[in-house]
Amino acid sequence: MGKNIYLYLEFNGKTLSTAASEMLACALKLFAPTELTALIGQAEPNIIAGLPLNRIYYGSASPVFPYILAKAAGKLPLPDLLLAPMSAEGQAFAAAYAAHNNLPLIADVTDIAPEQQFLLVKRAATGNLGQMQATLKYPQVLLLHPGVWRATELPKQLIKPLIEILPLPKESNIAQLKRVYTASRTEMEVDEADIVVSGGGGMQSAEKFQSLNKLCTLLNASLGGSRIAIDRGWIEQRQLIGASGKTVAPQLYFCCGISGAVQHNIGMRKSRHIIAVNTDNTAPIFAEADLAVNCEASALINKLTTMLAAYQPVPGGIIP
């Protein structure tokens, strides 16, 4: 296509975040053989050197505020398109970059169809229940909706990227990040996790719902829930999965006591594997599940956590 694409990439420790991996895989698929340039706040050159990109600009070996990096990136040639994940950092960077360069910004993008002269874009609307489609002219700044792009294995590096330090503006010395806290798997946001355990009204009480926390610890999973779990104060808004919450696409989605209203299912049906536990064998969630378990959820959770807590890995991975 001959377009110049910028990507804002985030790291969790020394690995790309799930959202960043999804975005990079999407860009490589949609825009090849276009030149791809990464913008990274904090990076270690020996780690980013393996990314399948043409050019990488990074701010520092220390943490950098997204708006500081955005202002520094404004000194670079204007791209045809800048993509960022719709995470807290991604939104902060994209908003600052768009404002600094007087560019339009489109959030919640769920699909991109690039053409030579214009860009067809779909974005989530009315919660996550619908989509809006627009035809846009270049240049644009797009925030990609998480959980809909399906992270795929990145191709092997064919070229060695040109890595450059991006000079930061003077105000970067005024306020500095001293440390970035990297969340454990159980503390990860639900749209970043490989395994999500989710609960609903079928968990019956706050005490029974809390038993899901122990299961999350044993599975290295994040905890989510349905609208009724929010209404009863069992989870926070950021953990809500569905039309008015987050869209997730983990390797495993384990839902307990969730009936499967359309508003919930739209936020989790892209999960690779789904296990559903419910006392109602006609619950709509069973139509989405790879494995449906018709029983009382809290009883199953208690037995499962006991078994997992007692499990001892066998050397060589062979289970007798």
Rounded to an integer, what distance in angstroms lies between the CA atom of residue 93 and that of residue 104?
14
- For residue 41, is pLDDT > 60? yes
Is residue 233 in a domain? yes
Mean pLDDT of 203-228: 92
Domain that holds residue 190: 185-317
Q: Are residues 168 and 196 in the same domain?
A: no
Q: Residue 11: what pLDDT?
A: 82
Confidence of residue 210 (pLDDT cuts 50, 70, 90): very high
Rg (CA), the chain: 21
- The predicted-structure confidence for 181-198, as pLDDT tens digits, reads as follows 555 555 678 888 889 999
Q: Are residues 25 and 134 in the same domain?
A: yes
Diameter of the chain measured on Cα atoms: 63
Residue 59 identity: G
Using DSSP's 3-state secondary structure scheme, residue 76 falls into coil
Q: State the CATH number of the domain containing residue 302.
A: 3.40.50.1220
Structural element, H or E, at residue 125: strand 118-125
Q: Which of 13-22, 65-74, 200-209 has the lowest mean pLDDT?
A: 13-22
Confidence of residue 94 (pLDDT cuts 50, 70, 90): very high
Q: Residue 4: what pLDDT?
A: 85
Q: Are residues 56 and 160 in the same domain?
A: yes
Q: Are residues 149 and 193 in the same domain?
A: no
Q: Which of 104-113, 167-176, 277-286 has the lowest mean pLDDT?
A: 167-176
Measured from the Cβ of residue 168, the count of other Cβ atoms closer than 10 Å reads 17
Structural element, H or E, at residue 263: helix 262-265
Q: State the CATH number of the domain containing residue 24.
A: 3.40.50.620
Mean pLDDT of 121-149: 77
Is residue 180 in a domain? no
Is residue 149 in a domain? yes
**Could you tell me the pTM of the whole model?**
0.67
Decide: 290 and 255 in contact? Cβ < 8 Å.
no
Rounded to an integer, what distance in angstroms lies between the CA atom of residue 318 and that of residue 320?
6
Q: Residue 318: what pLDDT?
A: 44
Is residue 179 in a domain? no
Q: What total of structural domains would you count in the chain?
A: 2
Q: Is the dihedral of CA 263, 268, 270, 276 positive or negative?
A: negative
Question: Six-digit token pair at 284?
Answer: 């709509």
Q: Are residues 239 and 206 in the same domain?
A: yes
Question: Six-digit token pair at 190?
Answer: 């639900």
Is residue 42 in a domain? yes
Decide: 5 and 27 in contact? Cβ < 8 Å.
yes
- For residue 98, is pLDDT > 70? yes
More confident position, 187 or 39: 39
Question: Six-digit token pair at 1?
Answer: 């296509």
Name the percent of the chain lying above pLDDT 70. Answer: 83
Q: Are residues 118 and 214 in the same domain?
A: no
Q: Are residues 90 and 232 in the same domain?
A: no
- For residue 24, is pLDDT > 90? no
Q: Which of 58-67, 84-93, 114-123, 212-221 has the lowest mean pLDDT?
A: 58-67
Residue-averaged pLDDT of the chain: 83
Q: Which residue in the block uniquely carries the two structure tokens 């610890």?
A: 217
